[in-house]
Structure 1
Amino acid sequence: MVFFSIIRQLIKALAIIAGGAVLLMMGITVIDVLLRLFGTGITGAYDLVRACGVVAVACALPYLTAVKGHIAIEFFYHKCSRLGRLILDSLLRLSALAIFGVLTVQLYRHGLALLASGEVFPNLGLPVFWIPMLVSFNFILMMIVFLYHLTHPGREFIKP
């Protein structure tokens, strides 16, 4: 299906962005530490590392969900029959859909509130509204993957 193909490509692109954010966090930290040896540093390094951390985690979550990389409740899974596993998996995914649905709406609203208030990073002065909006966007992608897994039990959305 074309829709799922587009979502797969988007999730893969976000996974690359997540990896880049981790590399950027490492680079900023190393350069900041080295510069501090010479009595200076990167202004706003803490803010940049925090933002990159959020980007890394938020953008990696849809990929992790798509490849079923989360730790399952193995103890319970092994105790259940095939039908029991299917029921347990479906209940967990439906619960996740509800939880992430609420979180998505609340994070988006929080992003709008930050935009309206003009909230910025303390040292850099850059706006922060985009952070909860980025997380909510990634949660939407996760919910699409949850729906796929509900309708296609036992299959990964993306092959690792």
Structure 2
Amino acid sequence: MPKTTLHAWSRFIGQATYALTWVAAAAMVMMIVLIVVSVFMRYALHQPLLGSNELIQLTSVVLVMAALPYCTFEEGHIRVDILDNFIGRWGRLIGDLVFRLTSIFVLSLLSYRAVIKGLDALRWGDATNMLSLPIWPLYIVLATGSALCVLVFVGQTILIVTERDAS
């Protein structure tokens, strides 16, 4: 793949992950406000906010799946390099490729299944127990976050292979 195409691909994916990060940030702010209001209502006014736990759970899904692609793009995941010196350069290369290819496979399945489940939830009108909120939008966020993560891993895999070929 030509360097200009690879650079354009990387820039597009970076912008898409950054945009989705704003969704995660909004979910984080919403969750913080909801928790503060819920705690205040429960302990200061003795009036628990019904459905707050359900809203916090739904917001958690949005927060995690919207932030995951950006964290992956920035390589912000926790990494343990205990064996790096032992396995050497080729071992790290193979490990990086196996990790990314496995992640591509698993996250592709997750994205596919989330689309299928989201369509089912939309068709059947699935909703949460207490507040009767539709759950299909959560499946969209789940599918979008995992699909974007797959694209990030594909780009990283291409970079790993092309950089090794150049050296």
* CA-CA distance at 1:45 after TM superposition: 1.3
Look up the match of 1:146. 153
Count the aligned residue pairs.
154
TM-score (ref. length: structure 2): 0.83
Partners of 1:78 and 1:14 lie apart in 2 by 36
Amino acid at match of 1:152: L
Give the greater-gyration-radius structure (CA).
Answer: 2
More helix by share: 2
Q: Secondary structure at the match of 1:25?
A: helix
Three-state SS of the structure 2 residue aligned to 1:31 is: helix
What does the per-residue CA deviation read over 1:3-62, in whole Å, with 9 as the maximum and x for residues that have no partner?
432321121122222122122112111111111221323332122111111111001110
Amino acid at match of 2:38: D
Is 1:126 equivalent to 2:141 in the alignment? Answer: no
Q: Distance in 1 between matches of 2:139 and 2:60?
A: 13
C-alpha distance in structure 1 between counterparts of 2:77 and 2:147, whole Å:
17
- Once the 2 structures are TM-superposed, how far is the Cα of residue 73 of structure 1 from its aligned partner? 4.1
Q: Which residue of 31, 35, 38 corresponds with 2:41?
A: 35
Q: Could you tell which deviates more after superposition, 17-26 or 94-103? A: 17-26
Secondary structure of residue in 2 paired with 1:148: helix
Unaligned runs of 5+ in 1: 155-160
Structure 2 match to 1:157: none
Contact 2:9 2:155 survives alignment (8 Å): no
What amino acid is aligned across from residue 135 of structure 2 in structure 1? V
Corresponding residue to 2:56 among 49, 61, 65 = 49
Residue 118 (structure 2) aligned to one of 104, 111, 114: 111
- State the one-letter code of the partner of 2:126: E
CA-to-partner distance for each residue in 1:71-122, whole Å, 9 max, x for gaps?
2341233322222211210111111111111111111111111111111122
For the residue of structure 2 that corresponds to 1:68, the secondary structure is coil
* Displaced runs of 4 or more, over 6 A: none
Query: Over the residues paired in the alignment, what is the CA RMSD in angstroms?
Result: 1.8
- Partners in 2 of 1:47 and 1:12 — Cα distance? 27
